[in-house]
């Protein structure tokens, strides 16, 4: 990809990859799991507990992260206080660690004029650097996202959940290929005119990950499913790395942010993160 066709989002990712950072940290707070030491007697306990927890995790891991990925559902479920915590979290990362991209994991996707609202919400109001989108309604509907040359558009192709194959594995088209491959091909050949696209492929499907990598070339791939979902890290790196040994956002959330339920939870998150970063880079160095 030429420099003129590379979004700031992708450029920032490449800067992190050059440092050996490939872990995308999922900031998915759950008040039933957040350690007691993060639950101080705040005036607005939900908002401030979530933000305080996120802040400590971020400060402990920012130099090792290639991106942060708050899933909007974990904040929307707590109403206005949850959304305020999300805004504060994104603003904190942008202020303190501006070189680390923020991905809003919202899986947006609707008709074009509705997507205009989603675009304004994710990028202009919240300030995210990228957003995950559902391609089901096609490129025409996704155009408001794709037109944002300054942002990253991460398209669901093959998700990590066990039931993803119900639709994503269906054989379609004249060439009879799985739907997830058709999505990947369309993103690579038609949607990525501004150099701002990436795709999602779960680590739980290494064979499919290799197929998508072949289709999209050196386009970034967000790879969820390592850790709690059981994806094999070595296989994910082997199948997911691009021609430069980079191109991956390996997503981990629960295994990092809940590494400890004690007051040392942030330190424990860093230790777990550093170990994961080391393992990824060891796998990257293996010649195939």
User: What is the number of other CB atoms lying within 10 angstroms of the CB of residue 43?
Assistant: 6
Q: What angle do CA 138, 143, 147 make, to 5 degrees?
A: 150
Residues 6+ away with beta carbon under 8 Å from 38: 49, 52, 53, 56, 265
Structure tokens given for 268:
């424990």
Distance CA 242, CA 235 (A): 13
Give, as one character, the DSSP assignment of residue 231. B
Question: 288 burial class (0-12, 13-18, 19+ CB within 10 angstroms)?
Answer: exposed
Q: Strands, E, within the chain: which ranges?
A: 23-27, 65-70, 103-108, 130-133, 152-158, 171-172, 177-178, 197-201, 221-223, 248-252
Q: Residues 242, 198: contact at Cβ < 8 Å?
A: no
Q: Which helix (H) or strand (E) holds 208?
A: helix 206-216
Distance CA 252, CA 275 (A): 12
Give, as one character, the DSSP assignment of residue 175. T
Q: Where are the alpha helices (DSSP H) in the chain?
A: 8-18, 45-61, 73-76, 79-96, 112-119, 139-146, 165-168, 179-186, 206-216, 233-240, 254-257, 265-284
Point out the residues that are catalytic.
107
Distance CA 275, CA 270 (A): 8
């Amino acid at each position: 990809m030429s420099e003129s066709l590379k979004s700031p989002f992708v450029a920032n990712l490449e800067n992190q990859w050059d440092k050996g950072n490939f872990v995308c940290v999922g900031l998915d707070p759950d008040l039933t799991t957040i350690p007691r030491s993060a639950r101080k007697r705040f005036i607005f306990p939900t908002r401030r507990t979530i933000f305080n927890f996120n802040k400590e995790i971020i400060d402990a891991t920012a130099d090792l992260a290639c991106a942060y990925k708050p899933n909007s559902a974990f904040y929307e479920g707590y109403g206005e206080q949850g959304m305020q915590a999300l805004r504060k979290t994104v603003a904190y990362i942008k202020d303190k660690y501006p070189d680390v991209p923020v991905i809003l994991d919202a899986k947006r996707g609707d008709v074009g004029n509705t997507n205009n609202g989603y675009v304004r919400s994710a990028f202009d109001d919240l300030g995210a650097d990228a957003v995950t989108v559902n391609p089901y309604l096609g490129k025409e509907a996704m155009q408001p996202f794709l037109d944002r040359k300054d942002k990253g558009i991460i398209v669901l192709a093959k998700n990590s959940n066990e039931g993803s194959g119900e639709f994503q594995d269906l054989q379609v088209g004249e060439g009879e290929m799985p739907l997830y491959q058709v999505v990947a091909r369309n993103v690579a050949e038609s949607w990525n005119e501004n150099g701002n696209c990436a795709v999602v492929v779960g680590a739980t499907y290494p064979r499919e990950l290799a197929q998508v990598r072949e289709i999209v070339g050196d386009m970034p791939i967000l790879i969820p499913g390592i850790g709690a979902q059981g994806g094999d890290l070595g296989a994910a790196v082997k199948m997911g790395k691009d021609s430069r040994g980079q191109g991956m956002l390996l997503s981990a959330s629960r295994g990092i942010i809940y590494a400890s339920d004690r007051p040392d939870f942030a330190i424990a998150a860093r230790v777990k993160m550093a170990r994961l970063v080391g393992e990824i880079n060891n796998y990257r160095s293996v010649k195939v």
